[in-house]
Structure 1
């Protein structure tokens, strides 16, 4: 009998890339969307599509019960409309924070009730890392205890999701901390907010650009998620490429790769009011992440080992 996989958030950036991989791997897949018009896209990938509001407890329970999955994958976010402006960070993440708290609770309860054996949830690594000590963090390093005010609720939501997923009795829970995604449907894809900021020279280099970022191609993130269906122990995994890099290195390279002018170089006293505390932290303070655990335990490796390769050929 085919293993049954339930993907909540199947029409998002990762979900769209994930469905055909799961179907090709031989799984029986149910995918959800909040938009009826996207059902056809889900079904074209070979999955069963249903409309679902992840914040509606009753409907989540019914949908998961009817699908009777062996594995539930939580890709619910509301990030598609983000403009990439760090000054609007809290506003942009408000609904996603609810999906990472209330939505996670709804899906976990439904998954346990339906007898699912594994629960895989989308998390994030990068700016939630504690911005002190080592420049490259592993999964056991703490999240930032004093994040910028704009990201406080989002870090709390990530912490809540990871704790709930990995400590719910009766199911093996895994939180996949994707790095900063690039490629179709992401902020660093065609029409994406962050890419447009770089193209418009609205993402400056400040104070040496020492903030370290870890990137991941969206298809590599989807491939890691498929690997997690059958590999790995319960726990947290960083899903990133092999080369964390400071803003001073990757930002000029990205601008050149898309044919944009080099980023502006601004002093902190000018840049601060433009990008806010969160933007300053992302440019000057944040830490990157190691993928060693995912490579070893998920039997996964990124097809783009470096953001250099990805920026050249993986943005569209």
Structure 2
């Protein structure tokens, strides 16, 4: 197939391009920088310098390549402060709204048959479930004010991708990514915070997180090129409460056990959205992706694998 990947140098984009090229696909992938485009070319794909927010440039690049499939992997995530989530995600939110609109319009103009877009599952779920949430359940109807714009951007992306006539739209909702170049890898935000014992088990650590290794996320995305259109949670088999996965992660990287903190103190440091992440969010089910995409995970559990084994 001919595949155009918007965002070909990111945590998912780079290994995705490598996997597509190795699979014999004809690939073009974009980066916002010339250096990134050169890296893509060195992987055996056609590197394109492109701003996903420039509608005319996106249309020209996609139409010129003439893809069967357009993949939206464009993000601009740096450090994340849960007290200022929308501020930290402002650039990514623009890519999930305006960028999505531009890519979908370009895909239609190019005659592509399918668009696959990166989304997220985790704090977006309705909170407080004792079980893993499915794709058919609604998003959180009462998001924290610090995250409301980010949730609205995710909703926009999913609505446009799955609701555009003449396109088979696929949304891949990645869980919390771990593996190379993620926040759990050496030097990443979570790695640093755990080493410094700043990432604490708050108010019993009841918040449930779903994880997925980068390699498994890439594989699910490739399978989505030929699977049924729709929305898929791309997470591992084992959603886990903070009180369970955080000590395991600390042990895996050789850090001291995480400290504990009451909610009222933690709220001052991480804000009300951060408090929800630690105490009240729900995990996600991967049953649809396994059943409909034929997805088999190389890393079915996060246990012992969230980070590098030495500091």
Shorter-chain TM-score: what band?
over 0.9
For 2:171, the equivalent position in structure 1 comes to 175
Counting only pairs closer than 5 Å after superposition, residues 21-36 of structure 1 correspond to structure 2 as 21-36=19-34
TM-score if structure 1 supplies the norm length? 0.95
Relative to structure 1, is the Cα distance of residues 301 and 309 closer, same or farther in structure 2, using a 3 angstrom cutoff? farther
Task: Note the aligned Cα RMSD (angstroms).
Answer: 1.5
- C-alpha deviation, 1:40, in angstroms: 2.1
For 1:265, the equivalent position in structure 2 comes to 260
Counting only pairs closer than 5 Å after superposition, residues 38-187 of structure 1 correspond to structure 2 as 38-79=36-77, 81-82=78-79, 84-187=80-183
Relative to structure 1, is the Cα distance of residues 64 and 290 closer, same or farther in structure 2, using a 3 angstrom cutoff? same
TM-score if structure 2 supplies the norm length? 0.97
1:189 aligns with 2:168: no
- C-alpha deviation, 1:282, in angstroms: 0.4
For 2:12, the equivalent position in structure 1 comes to 14
Structure 1, gaps ≥5 residues long: none
Distance in structure 2 (CA, Å) of the matches to 1:39 and 1:184: 20
1:301 aligns with 2:296: yes
- Secondary structure at the aligned position of 1:229 is classed as coil
Distance in structure 2 (CA, Å) of the matches to 1:172 and 1:314: 41
Distance in structure 2 (CA, Å) of the matches to 1:44 and 1:310: 30
- Secondary structure at the aligned position of 1:29 is classed as strand
- C-alpha deviation, 1:132, in angstroms: 3.2
CA contact (8 A) 1:182 1:314 kept: no
CA contact (8 A) 1:183 1:314 kept: no
Deviations 1:103-125 (A, max 9, x none): 00000000011000010000000
- Secondary structure at the aligned position of 2:89 is classed as helix
Distance in structure 2 (CA, Å) of the matches to 1:285 and 1:130: 9
Query: How many residues align structurally?
Result: 311
